[in-house]
Chain A
Amino acid sequence: MSPEKGVVLTGSHFMLGDQACAEGAIYAGCRFFAGYPITPATEIAERMAERLPGIGGQYIQMEDEIGSVAAILGASVAGVRAMTATSGPGFSLMQENLGLGFMMEVPCVVVNVQRGGPSTGLPTSVGQQDMMQARFGSHGDYAAIAYSPSSPQEAFELTVDAFNTAERLRTPVLVMMDEVVGHMRERVVIPAEGKRPILSRRLPSVSPVEYRPYRVDDDLVPEMALAGGGYSVRMTSLTHDESGRAVTDTATQAVLLPRLLRKVAEHREVYEQYELRHVKDAEVLVVAYGITGRSATGAVEAARARGMRAGLFRPKTVWPFPTEAFLRAAKNVRRVVVAEINMGQVALEVERLIAGQCPVVRVTSPGGEVLAPELIIEACGRDRAEKVRR
């Protein structure tokens, strides 16, 4: 099931964000999709169900989202790039085996097209309420990597990049979309095959006798032997040493867990992406991502037109938060505005980084609608308090 020629739909299309996400996966060589229907992510599964059988790929509809993540991990350890897609309720079910992916270090991509919660919440309308779950949802300490596209074009591009990051760093990677981006139909330009670089996991460079599944060099990313590759692979959800043996003692844990965190922290160049707009002379810096990034773009331009010195920091990689880049952009501002369709999640990280140096104004929403640019503009001129939609 290796990538074949002629399967990438190079050209200009008018398609849904969900479909663009699926095409990004196919572009990146994804040939295995396991999923479970859920609004507003279903169109990703539908697209994969339609596309994969004809291009040597495998689609399987699982019994639930727990099984979906387990299945993509299985496909990945056997060497096939794999993805699943869901929304809030399914994302909650996925947390268990996402942890398995982080622990075993299995490359895969998990898409969450966010809707309003908690629980069944607002199944057909927009939310950005799972951002902290993306960061901390599975038990134990781990380092999540999460992208957040603002358009169907970015849904395509960031899904390609999510696969690259997953393969390069041997880890699950999240694409945190939202209902509006998922269901928005826009122009999507799919480049020629190979135009956007594709990264692959490191396979063993030594013989089976010398191979240790979790031995690392300075890169901190172990080489990965595949099922059926003749390496007598042993992988476990338990704390393990470099040979893959389960060793549940504090010394082994003290080697393993910090490496898993450092592996992500020390490779920012692989995944960190953000957009800056008018930050040079900005007095107010707006932080927004996903669909809210577009409201914020409109708000910043409108604020400028009204004579306000507003700038935009739009993380395309929300986790790990692009700390250095953000602090550079925020260095001389007298106010930061964080706009998101939740009651304040990424705002917690921004407030932590600003550490009281200037006011941080939250523009929040319980979900269901895109934040209007006017609310963000208003917040740019406000020093305190919180603007709650509705």
Chain B
Amino acid sequence: MSPQDDEHTVRTPEMEHAPLRRHPLDSVLRSEVLPHIWCPGCGIGVALGAFLQGLDRAGVPLLKRVIVGGIGCSSRVVYYAKADAYHTTHGRAIPFATGIKLANPSLHVTVFAGDGDLFAIGGNHFIHAARRNMDLLVVCINNFNYGMTGGQAGPTTPHDARTTTTPNGNFEIPFNLPQLAAAVGAVYVARWTTLDVRRLRDCFTEAAGKQGFRFVEVLAPCPVSFGKNNDIGSGLDEMDYYRGLEHLWGSPAGLPERIEVRENGDLSGTEISLHRPIIVGKFVDRVRPTFADSYQAVATAAAAKGKKAP
């Protein structure tokens, strides 16, 4: 990557005589629109940082980057990353991104959205894009609730968890996202937390280098809503929670280890519960023909047959 584009670097009058200090990610961020909208302790910025570093390491050129977001806190990354960026409608980022990718296959298209966006209102698009093996990198920031609207329950809210719409505890059973993604055909499935910054970065590097429908779930703190409602505490406290510290789990006896990496397709025990450690890792890494590969075969045959109409 060639960091440049200084014209976007903001300098306020007070900074006039201060030495200009560059953030390591300035070259891949739209610095002029910062500060961002995320709350203190929110994990989305960490995920974005890891994502941008991962793309840099994978050598994805700045001019080839497209990011499509839906609606919600996580989808706001489209404003901050340097890329052709589209902030669309709630749940519809995947089909919008599908159109872009098919129209210009040379682009690296990422969908960045939240758990509610991708798996409640947008669930149908997710499963079909994965089935088709559409060449998209889909990043889900899973903070277990609807953050932007103030912390309501969603399709990934753990059983028993409290939210503003489950004040007595969530009586529904959440999705297990890696299992869902694997079942519907994703070729790459990983889950990390915002505690695992380097692993997350490396995961994005790896995923960006692959073709097909790739899914990365990022567990991220939402201290002002989910954290507060479930007495988890600050963003840092939620990071501790991810680590599975003994004091949070009560007795460690008989509990499984927090498994770091799985590459054997073993998705057992990956359901997220308030009552036991979270399993992270890479769960799926396989090759299937992409939608474009399969279509190209048909298109080539059709073109060879001649352009005569039916």
Contact = CB atoms under 8 A, between A and B. Distances in A.
B310 interface: yes
A7 B307 contact: yes
Given A58-B295, A228-B107, A232-B83, A70 B88 contact: yes
Contacts of A67: 92, 94-95, 98, 124-125, 128
B89 A54 contact: no
A246 interface: yes
B295 A53 contact: yes
Interface stretch (B42-50, B64-72, B211-219): B64-72
A230 B66 CA distance: 11
B104 A79 contact: yes
A228 B94 CA distance: 18
A345 interface: no
Contacts of A70: 88-89, 92, 94-96, 98-99, 125
A287 B100 CA distance: 41
Contacts of A7: 307
Interface string A8-24: 01000000000000010
A32 B102 contact: yes
Contact of A228 (B63, B88, B92): B63
A71 B95 contact: yes
A5 B47 CA distance: 47
Contacts of B180: none
Interface in B46-105: 63-64, 66, 68, 71, 78-79, 82-89, 92, 94-104
Given A53-B303, A71-B98, A234 B107 contact: no
A237 B103 contact: no
Nearest to B98: A71
Contacts of B63: 228, 230
B7 A209 contact: yes
Interface string B118-135: 000000110110000000
A51 B309 contact: yes
Contact of B87 (A71, A80, A236): A236
Interface in A81-124: 82, 96-97, 99-100, 104
B85 A79 contact: no
Interface of A is mostly: mixed
B307 A245 contact: no
Contact of A66 (B92, B98, B303): B92
A349 to B, nearest CB: 29
A58 B85 contact: no
A268 B95 CA distance: 32
A199 interface: no
A79 B78 CA distance: 20
A47 B309 CA distance: 9
Contacts of A74: 68, 86, 95-103
B49 to A, nearest CB: 19
Which among B78, B86, B103 has the highest number of chain A CB atoms within 10 Å?
B103
B287 interface: no
B25 interface: no
A235 interface: yes
Nearest to A71: B99
Given A63-B124, A66-B92, A228-B66, A54 B306 contact: yes
B106 interface: yes
Nearest to A13: B309
A78 B95 contact: no
Contacts of A76: 99, 103
A383 B128 CA distance: 56
Which among A64, A231, A232 has the highest number of chain B CB atoms within 10 Å?
A232
A78 B99 contact: yes
B8 to A, nearest CB: 9
Interface of B: 7, 30, 33, 63-64, 66, 68, 71, 78-79, 82-89, 92, 94-104, 106-107, 124-125, 127-128, 291, 295, 298-299, 302-303, 305-307, 309-310
Given A58-B295, A235-B86, A235-B87, 8 more contacts: A50-B309, A53-B303, A70-B98, A71-B95, A73-B99, A80-B104, A100-B88, A234-B87
3 cross-chain pairs, A with B, having the tightest CB-CB distances, nearest first: A74-B99, A70-B95, A78-B103
22 contacts: A9-B309, A23-B309, A32-B102, A50-B310, A53-B298, A54-B299, A54-B303, A60-B291, A70-B89, A72-B99, A74-B103, A77-B86, A77-B100, A78-B103, A79-B103, A82-B103, A97-B89, A228-B106, A234-B84, A234-B85, A235-B86, A237-B87
